[in-house]
């Protein structure tokens, strides 16, 4: 990091967590700039949750340090951050209203109650037992609890896992509105579309190490040129594969070609007698990036 | 700020208790049913022997009183049990409550009978047929029924279970399902959280006990020689102690199975050996000594002393001091051991 930049809101040096002799998180160095949405991306078991829980101050690291605004976190840390866990529960028998009351009492200066309720769309469920909420409603309540203290830094651990597409999109809108208020968001996800939609910067984690880090677009441009062209394998059966497409990979029933210039590539294919029926032209996604970096899929394991 | 956070958890916990109607009704109905059952099951007190209290002056007291012949005139009667008493007032109170049939003071050549007890008249007949050396004194007094005697036991048992499980088990459940983890991620301190759990449970237990006592008393009109205020103070000290013990057990574990086992391991010996169901007076010395390690024993000793002997504050002070001491030890060790997330992660 250059000295001229402002102090990161959160940074780690050599952060390590060991379970049963295995480094689940391995000497991690991260710098998270204030005001951005930062994504920790990786498959299940990559060490995302362990990392974020150490950053949250919930899990003690085995080695390394965590700095909040350049200093180790003190007892006021929880007054300034908001946390939404992946798996969490609330005390039984409480209504949404009671839960909001409970958490508002924990903070020196809680957010305006009506504003928070409107922000997270909780008006219609205030009198509902929190155990009877739908997945999307529950995530909105948990987000409201994390936002209760109007935090500078918001941690979201796999916030949309298990939500239906509609609820996911609504939740993304909420995260964008948090981000637009100048707050820093740190989220983990194994959905690449979520990271592409929300994150200004991502770090791709695998086996406790950062594989690459940067803005999603920059990373994709760095690892992929142009677009991906996909054609059914059968289209190539009658024609000789042009020499310049030797690096084409077969993925299932499709051949995948990387094209710097799409129209030039297509002209060459036509000239070689390859049919363009079933043609797909796509930009590379983070999924492709992850596959390229690790040789295995992001989602499935 | 401390009080704001404390009140937050306290209020939430009370709401939970109040809305959990099944547990709430169990907390109220269970002791009521038990008291009623004991009242009807054990109402007829058909002892086959005559029990006589013998008041002994300190200087004449034999070093081995067990089985000693205290009143020689009654010695040949195998069905008469003689129980030595150092304190005449205590013996007379037992007579008033029909626990004794007769009280004899050999040095004073006097004996007392309770006019309202049929057994007492019979015992007086026995004595006067064998000796006319004793002068008769007459007392009256309502019988202390088994239900009177067992009432503090049942209430204390309810208190014990409610505090141990209502604090201990609930904390372990909250740790296991990550409620504690969520609370940890706020400015709430462990001390504020634990204090709110204990205070909420203690006041709910006191309220429940008072309701149960009032309902039972309206039906059975219990013997009460002492001060209700002292009794409430004792219930307060007792529930504080039990809740602290619950905290200690719940300090670390994430396993509901283990905590249930530990709570049972502590609750059941107390239930059997602290004098909930029967008096420990007749049990072996080592059992009585062993029972001293249980807070419930001290709570019940003091509660019965207030209810049946009209004991005042100074008389139950030793038990109160012991309860406070145990509470402090449980709290300090429990708070030191406490972890939000706990072992076995």
pLDDT digits (tens, 9 = 90+) for B163-203: 999 999 999 999 998 999 999 999 999 989 999 999 999 99
Of A59, A89, A98, the CB nearest to B12: A98
B21-41 helix and B2-19 helix, angle to the nearest 10 degrees? 60
Asked if the structure places residue B100 within a domain, the reply is yes
In this structure, what are the phi and psi dihedrals at residue A254, rounded to the nearest 5 degrees?
-115, 150
**Domain final residue, candidates B111, B139, B167:** B139
Query: Cβ contacts of residue A28 below 8 Å, gap of 6+?
Result: A12, A14, A15, A16, A51, A64, A208, A209, A210
Tell me how far the alpha carbon of residue B217 is from its chain's centroid: 17
Contacts of B179 in chain A (CB under 8 A): 88-91
Task: State residue B67's pLDDT score.
Answer: 47
Burial of A287 from C-beta contacts in 10 A (0-12 / 13-18 / 19+): middle
With 80 as the cut, is the pLDDT of residue B39 above it? no
**Contact criterion met (CB < 8 Å) for B8 and A92:** no
Query: Cβ contacts of residue B252 below 8 Å, gap of 6+?
Result: B337, B338, B339, B342, B343
For A102, the closest chain B residue by CA position comes to B8
A85 touches chain B (CB under 8 A): yes
Query: Cβ contacts of residue B109 below 8 Å, gap of 6+?
Result: B133, B134, B135
Task: State residue A69's pLDDT score.
Answer: 93
Distances (CA, A) of B258 to A226, A259, B262, B264, B266: 60, 62, 6, 10, 12
Task: Work out the average pLDDT over B27-44.
Answer: 78
Q: Which of A40-44, A208-212, A247-251, B231-235 has the lowest mean pLDDT?
A: A247-251
Asked if the structure places residue B71 within a domain, the reply is yes
Q: How confident is the model at residue B345 (pLDDT cuts 50, 70, 90)?
A: very low
More confident residue, B142 or A9: A9
Asked if the structure places residue B101 within a domain, the reply is yes
Tens of pLDDT, residues B210-254: 999 999 999 888 888 899 999 999 999 999 999 999 999 999 888
Task: State residue A34's pLDDT score.
Answer: 94
**Contact criterion met (CB < 8 Å) for B8 and A94:** no
More confident residue, A10 or B116: A10
The proportion of chain A whose per-residue pLDDT surpasses 90, expressed as a percent, equals 55
Task: State residue B243's pLDDT score.
Answer: 96
Chain B residues contacting A, CB < 8 Å? 1, 4-5, 7-9, 11-13, 15-16, 19-20, 174, 177-179, 181-182, 184-188, 341
- Number of neighbouring beta carbons within 10 Å of residue B116: 13
Task: State residue A239's pLDDT score.
Answer: 64
| Same-domain status, B20 and B96 | no
CA distance B22 to B32: 15
Contacts of A98 in chain B (CB under 8 A): 12, 15
Q: How confident is the model at residue B137 (pLDDT cuts 50, 70, 90)?
A: confident
More confident residue, A27 or A223: A27
Of A58, A93, A106, the CB nearest to B187: A106
CA distance B51 to B53: 7
| Same-domain status, B108 and B34 | no
Q: Tell me the three state secondary structure of residue B112.
A: strand
Asked if the structure places residue B342 within a domain, the reply is no
Task: State residue B69's pLDDT score.
Answer: 56
With 80 as the cut, is the pLDDT of residue A114 above it? yes
Distance between B164 CA and the closest CA of chain A, angstroms: 19
With 90 as the cut, is the pLDDT of residue B53 above it? no
Task: State residue A264's pLDDT score.
Answer: 84
Asked if the structure places residue B273 within a domain, the reply is yes
CA distance B48 to B246: 43
| Same-domain status, B188 and B293 | yes
With 70 as the cut, is the pLDDT of residue A5 above it? no
Tens of pLDDT, residues B255-302: 888 898 999 999 989 988 898 888 877 678 888 899 999 999 999 999
Asked if the structure places residue B197 within a domain, the reply is yes
| Same-domain status, B108 and B192 | no
For B42-78, give the DSSP string: T------SEEEEEE--GGG--S--TT--SSHHHHT-T
Q: How confident is the model at residue B68 (pLDDT cuts 50, 70, 90)?
A: low
Say how many CB pairs under 8 Å bridge A and B: 70
With 50 as the cut, is the pLDDT of residue B66 above it? no
Task: State residue B202's pLDDT score.
Answer: 96
Burial of B203 from C-beta contacts in 10 A (0-12 / 13-18 / 19+): middle
Task: State residue A3's pLDDT score.
Answer: 46
**Domain final residue, candidates B87, B110, B139:** B139
Distance between A294 CA and the closest CA of chain B, angstroms: 29
Asked if the structure places residue B344 within a domain, the reply is no
Nearest Cα neighbor of B104 from B52, B64, B34, B59 is B52
Phi-psi region of A21 (alpha: psi -120 to 50; beta: other; left: phi over 0): left
ipTM for the complex?
0.82
CA distance B28 to B22: 10
Task: Give the mutation candidate from A105, A113, A146 for the B interface (greatest B CB count, under 10 A).
Answer: A105
| Same-domain status, B177 and B289 | yes
Q: How confident is the model at residue B114 (pLDDT cuts 50, 70, 90)?
A: confident
A8: DSSP letter: P
| Same-domain status, B29 and B60 | no
| Same-domain status, B182 and B135 | no
Q: How confident is the model at residue A297 (pLDDT cuts 50, 70, 90)?
A: low
For A246-272, give the DSSP string: TT-EEETTEEEEEESSHHHHHHHHHHT
Task: State residue B207's pLDDT score.
Answer: 95
**Contact criterion met (CB < 8 Å) for A91 and B184:** no
Task: Work out the average pLDDT over B52-59.
Answer: 76
Which domain range does residue B79 map to? 50-139
Contacts of B16 in chain A (CB under 8 A): 91-94
**Contact criterion met (CB < 8 Å) for A91 and B16:** yes
Listed ranges A100-104, B60-64, B90-94; the one with the highest mean pLDDT: A100-104
Q: Order the strands of the A254-259 sheet from edge to edge.
A: A249-251, A254-259, A227-232, A280-282
Average pLDDT taken over every residue of chain A: 88
CA distance A182 to A201: 15
The proportion of chain B whose per-residue pLDDT surpasses 90, expressed as a percent, equals 42
Distance between A124 CA and the closest CA of chain B, angstroms: 21
Distance between B318 CA and the closest CA of chain A, angstroms: 39
**Contact criterion met (CB < 8 Å) for B186 and A78:** yes
With 90 as the cut, is the pLDDT of residue B140 above it? no
| Same-domain status, B25 and B102 | no
| Same-domain status, B167 and B276 | yes
CA distance B121 to B42: 23
Which of residues 90 through 129 in chain A touch B, CB cutoff 8 A? 90-94, 98, 101-108
**Domain final residue, candidates B139, B162, B181:** B139
A240 touches chain B (CB under 8 A): no
Count of structural domains within chain B: 2
Tens of pLDDT, residues A183-196: 999 999 988 889 98
Task: Work out the average pLDDT over A32-56.
Answer: 91
CA distance B92 to A78: 65
Q: Tell me the three state secondary structure of residue A48.
A: helix
Of A56, A57, A90, the CB nearest to B179: A90
A80 touches chain B (CB under 8 A): no
CA distance A192 to B184: 30
| Same-domain status, B102 and B245 | no
CA distance A155 to A83: 5
The proportion of chain B whose per-residue pLDDT surpasses 70, expressed as a percent, equals 92
Average pLDDT taken over every residue of chain B: 86
Contacts of B341 in chain A (CB under 8 A): 58-59
| Same-domain status, B283 and B152 | yes
Tens of pLDDT, residues A215-268: 988 888 888 777 888 888 888 776 666 677 777 778 788 888 878 788 888 888
Asked if the structure places residue B45 within a domain, the reply is no
More confident residue, B135 or B321: B321
Task: State residue A154's pLDDT score.
Answer: 96
| Same-domain status, B127 and B195 | no
Task: State residue B44's pLDDT score.
Answer: 54
Q: How confident is the model at residue A1 (pLDDT cuts 50, 70, 90)?
A: very low
Q: Which of A68-72, B130-134, B333-337 has the lowest mean pLDDT?
A: B130-134
Task: Work out the average pLDDT over A155-177.
Answer: 92
CA distance A56 to A81: 8
């Amino acid at each position: 990091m250059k000295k001229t930049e402002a102090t990161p809101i959160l940074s780690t040096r050599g952060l390590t967590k060991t379970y049963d002799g295995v480094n689940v998180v391995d000497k991690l160095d991260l710098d998270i700039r204030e005001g951005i949405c930062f994504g920790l991306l990786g498959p299940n078991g990559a060490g995302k949750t362990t990392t974020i829980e150490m950053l949250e101050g919930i899990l003690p690291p085995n080695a390394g340090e965590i700095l909040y605004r350049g200093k180790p976190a003190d007892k006021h840390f929880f007054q300034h951050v908001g946390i939404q866990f992946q798996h969490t529960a609330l005390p039984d028998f409480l209504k949404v209203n009671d839960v909001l009351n409970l958490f508002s009492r924990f903070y020196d200066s809680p957010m305006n109650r009506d504003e928070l309720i409107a922000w997270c769309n909780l008006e219609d469920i205030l009198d509902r037992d929190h155990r009877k909420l739908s997945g999307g409603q529950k995530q909105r309540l948990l987000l409201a609890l994390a936002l209760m203290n109007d935090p500078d830094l918001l941690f979201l651990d796999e916030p949309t896992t298990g939500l239906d597409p509609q609820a996911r999109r609504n939740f993304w809108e909420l995260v964008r509105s948090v981000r637009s208020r100048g707050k820093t968001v740190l989220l983990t996800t194994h959905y690449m579309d979520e990271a592409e939609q929300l994150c200004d910067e991502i770090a791709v984690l695998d086996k406790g190490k950062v594989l690459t880090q940067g803005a999603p677009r920059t990373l994709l441009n760095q690892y992929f040129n142009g677009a991906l062209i996909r054609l059914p394998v059968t289209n190539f059966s009658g024609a000789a594969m042009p020499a310049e497409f030797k690096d084409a990979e077969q993925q299932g029933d499709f051949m995948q070609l990387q094209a710097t210039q799409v129209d030039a590539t297509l002209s060459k294919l036509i000239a070689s007698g390859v049919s363009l029926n079933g043609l797909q032209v796509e930009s590379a996604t983070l999924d492709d990036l992850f596959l390229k970096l690790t040789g295995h899929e992001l989602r499935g394991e | 700020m401390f009080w704001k956070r404390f009140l937050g958890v306290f209020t939430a916990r009370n709401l939970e208790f109040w809305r959990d109607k099944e547990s709430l009704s169990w907390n109220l109905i269970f002791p009521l049913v038990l008291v009623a059952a004991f009242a009807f099951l054990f109402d007829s007190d058909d002892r086959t022997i005559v029990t006589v209290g013998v008041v002994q002056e300190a200087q004449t007291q034999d070093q081995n009183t067990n089985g000693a012949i205290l009143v020689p005139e009654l010695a040949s009667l195998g069905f008469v049990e003689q129980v030595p008493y150092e304190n005449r007032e205590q013996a007379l109170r037992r007579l008033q409550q029909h626990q004794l049939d007769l009280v004899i003071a050999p040095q004073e050549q006097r004996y007392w009978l309770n006019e309202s007890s049929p057994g007492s008249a019979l015992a007086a007949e026995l004595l006067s047929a064998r000796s006319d050396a004793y002068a008769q004194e007459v007392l009256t007094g309502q019988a202390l029924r088994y239900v009177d005697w067992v009432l503090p036991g049942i209430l204390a048992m309810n208190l014990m279970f409610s505090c141990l499980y209502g604090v201990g088990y609930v904390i372990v459940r909250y740790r296991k399902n990550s409620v504690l983890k969520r609370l940890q991620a706020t400015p709430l301190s462990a001390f504020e959280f634990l204090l709110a759990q204990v205070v909420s449970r203690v006041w709910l237990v006191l309220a429940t006990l008072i309701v149960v006592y009032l309902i039972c008393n309206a039906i059975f009109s219990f013997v009460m020689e002492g001060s209700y205020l002292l009794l409430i103070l004792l219930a307060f000290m007792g529930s504080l102690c039990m809740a602290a013990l619950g905290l200690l057990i719940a300090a670390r574990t994430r396993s509901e199975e283990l905590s249930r086992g530990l709570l049972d391991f502590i609750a059941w010996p107390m239930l059997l050996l602290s004098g909930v169901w029967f008096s420990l007076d007749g049990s072996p010395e080592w059992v009585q000594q062993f029972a001293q390690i249980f807070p419930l024993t001290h709570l019940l000793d003091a509660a019965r002393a207030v209810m049946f002997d009209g004991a005042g504050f100074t008389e139950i002070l030793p038990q109160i001091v012991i309860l406070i001491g145990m509470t402090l030890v449980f709290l300090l060790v429990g708070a030191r051991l406490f972890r939000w997330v706990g072992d076995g992660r």
